[in-house]
Amino acid sequence: MDHPTFTGTVRDTITLTGRSLRHVLRSPDTIVTTALTPVAMLLLFVYVFGGAIDTGGVPYVDYLLPGILLITVASGVAYTAYRLFLDVSGGMFERFHSMPIARSAVLWAHVLTSLAANLLAMVVVVLVAVAMGFRTGAGVLAWLGVLGVMVLFTLTLTWLAVIPGLTARSVDAVSGFSYPLIFLPLVSSAFVPTEGMPGPVRWFAEHQPVTSIVDTIRALLAEQPVGQEIWAALAWCVGLLVLAYLLAMRAYRRKVA
């Protein structure tokens, strides 16, 4: 049964988040594995394909990093869905619900753990990019803007991950949901400018959420005006976040009913 007070819910959420974080810290290979795919893509595209891609004089590692950060999150939320699936299939949810704790705290603990783990993985990716030559003159406000966009994007994908975590019937099903999320940046401005794409592909690339988010982060790091892209990025993130949250809570209510 839920606590009737906000304070109780916060306390329960902090306690359960601590539990989830301890599991992550006991298995640091999760962070390494989460960062492994984006780091491998960063190395591959910069050192193999980077010389053949015209980015208008911008070093390719600088051009590429925003998209790689999004792939880092897409890769990381797969573990969120997996950990949630294990709690559901292993009967952990039933144990929690038999205790006098707020039911909403169970989900929020997974969400906050995902946010912390993904932020750590992104730090690893940025450090690798710096070692490869990434440089930026962005100030504190610009970096805070990048952090804000990435936190919002991470929360959006995490709540999307909650849905298969609650509803999937097998490990393969819960793991496969992230593949489209990792693929989407490939058809955007994340890796190459959209100007050289065929008409229909270019239209899709320029009107899907990843391009506006990538362009916003790229402009912030390059100390350039963000223009209208930031509003499109925020609209996509907030809209998808609200939708994902509502669908996740609906799935959760069905699961605990």
pLDDT at 200 over 60: yes
pLDDT at 172 over 60: yes
**Token pair of 80 as six digits:** 């969120």
HEC per residue, 79-143: HHHHHHHHHHHCCHHHHHHCCCCCHHHHHHHHHHHHHHHHHHHHHHHHHHHHHCCCCCCCCHHHH
The dihedral formed by the CA atoms of 111, 115, 118 and 120, expressed in degrees to the nearest 10: -140
DSSP 8-state class, residue 194: G
Res 6: pLDDT: 66
- Residue, of 31 and 218, whose pLDDT is higher: 218
Res 17: pLDDT: 81
Q: What is the pLDDT of residues 2-14, one digit of tens each?
A: 444 667 677 777 8
Res 5: pLDDT: 67
Res 3: pLDDT: 45
Is the CB of residue 210 less than 8 Å from the CB of residue 67? Answer: yes
Res 247: pLDDT: 93
pLDDT, average across residues 227-253: 92
- Residue, of 138 and 31, whose pLDDT is higher: 138
Residues near 3 by Cβ (< 8 Å), separated by ≥ 6? 9, 12, 100, 101, 102
pLDDT, average across residues 54-61: 87
pLDDT, average across residues 215-219: 95
pLDDT at 169 over 70: yes
Res 30: pLDDT: 64
Q: What is the pTM of this model?
A: 0.88
pLDDT at 129 over 50: yes
pLDDT, average across residues 169-191: 83
Give the model's confidence band at 1: pLDDT under 50 very low, under 70 low, under 90 confident, else very high.
Answer: very low
pLDDT at 80 over 80: yes
Percent of residues, the chain, with pLDDT higher than 90: 44
Res 28: pLDDT: 62
Q: What is the pLDDT of residues 190-199, one digit of tens each?
A: 999 988 889 8
**Token pair of 173 as six digits:** 């099903």
Res 213: pLDDT: 96
Res 168: pLDDT: 83
pLDDT at 250 over 50: yes
Residue 233 to residue 213: CA distance in whole angstroms: 5
Give the model's confidence band at 246: pLDDT under 50 very low, under 70 low, under 90 confident, else very high.
Answer: very high
Average pLDDT, the chain: 85
pLDDT at 108 over 80: yes
The dihedral formed by the CA atoms of 95, 96, 99 and 100, expressed in degrees to the nearest 10: -170
Res 2: pLDDT: 43
